[in-house]
Amino acid sequence: MTDVVSYRPDPADLAYTFGGREPVRRVRPGTILELYTEDCFGGRVRTVDDLPSRVCEFPYLNPVTGPFFVEGAEPGDTLAVHFVSITPARDWAVSSTFPHFGALTGTHTTATLHPPLDELVWRYDVDVSAGTVRYQARRGDFSVDLPLDPMHGTAGVAPGAFESRMTIVPDVHGGNMDTPELRAGATAYFGVNVPGALFALGDGHCRQGDGEVCGTGVEAAMHTVVILDLVKGAGTPTPRLETDAALMSVGSARPLEDAYRMSQHDLVTWSAGLLGLDQLDAYQLISQAGQAPVGNVCDPNYTMLARVDKRYLGPALAYEGVHGRLRATAAGYLAR
């Protein structure tokens, strides 16, 4: 019988790092987790007058729920995380611009004499039944309904070598990757670096454009259901994603071109192994059939994805078919 564990953290139980935290629960592989995650502002930004610089305290930003100790997980294994459902927990969400943060402004690493951007907050009305979020211009009358497309910006495991990383940093352990591909129906794969893996999750977005250009998505608290499973003895050098339609590799680094190279390198070598191809044959295949969705272009590391449709990979089966098995478990859970 499948274990089902529900967990809603108190504010004091939220984590702000991957690594350096004791687990909040121990779970067995195959467990279904029903989680509540807070938004990146910890729920403190509720109106357009709640400027993050006034109501939030650095470094208590981008909280995650967890970590969860997965029994039997050891370095050299892979943690498979299947996203069953992601549902906004409130009928509103927020986004913002910041001085010295975002892709289209000077930052502390690209210092300029230009005036910093204004700090503004946008409040979105969230209509789950209609499947929309409403954008309203702050300095005009324009408004438009955008499709609701819930995702998680931050997910991952503890890094290795006794490291503790702030949740806003994406790297090979996962972290704040901010890719819209991390939505319900996807399975994420993370290489295990420490006993128990120590998985944590947060930073829900009602939707987000590729790149998260202004530095924030449509930030929201979420009710999220995931299934945690274990692939023993399978290494995963950088986070990977699988959907019914595609395989994806994630690279996070600076500069952006190195994040691109990381993701492409992993997808080429992964595909070569799955298909039994020479590396240059796989390089040629991904060069002509691959895509390159952007994750984030604002965080301490940038994130790029390399994506290829499964229809071009013939009979290749990633991780012995764990995605399909978890999809079946998710369908049974949702049909209850």
Contact at 8 Å (CB) between 146 and 135? yes
CA dihedral 46, 50, 51, 53 (to 10 degrees): -90
C-alpha closest to that of 2 among 37, 45, 31: 31
User: Do 135 and 124 touch, CB atoms closer than 8 A?
Assistant: yes
C-beta separation of 86 from 152 below 8 A: yes
Rounded CA-CA distance 131/146 in Å is 9
Preceding amide of 180 cis, omega within 30? no
Rounded Cα–Cα distance for residues 245 and 231 (Å): 21
**Closest of 317, 326, 304 to residue 271, by C-alpha:** 317
Say if pTM beats, i.e. exceeds, 0.95: yes
Between CA 182 and CA 227 the distance in angstroms is 14
pLDDT, mean of each 10-residue run, the chain (336 residues): 94 97 98 98 97 94 98 98 98 95 86 90 98 98 98 98 96 98 98 98 98 96 98 97 98 97 98 98 98 96 98 95 98 95
From residue 159, how far is each of 3, 188, 198, 238, 244 by CA, in Å?
26, 16, 9, 11, 28
pLDDT at 71: 98
The pLDDT assigned to 124 comes to 98
The per-residue pLDDT for 141 is 96
pLDDT at 293: 97
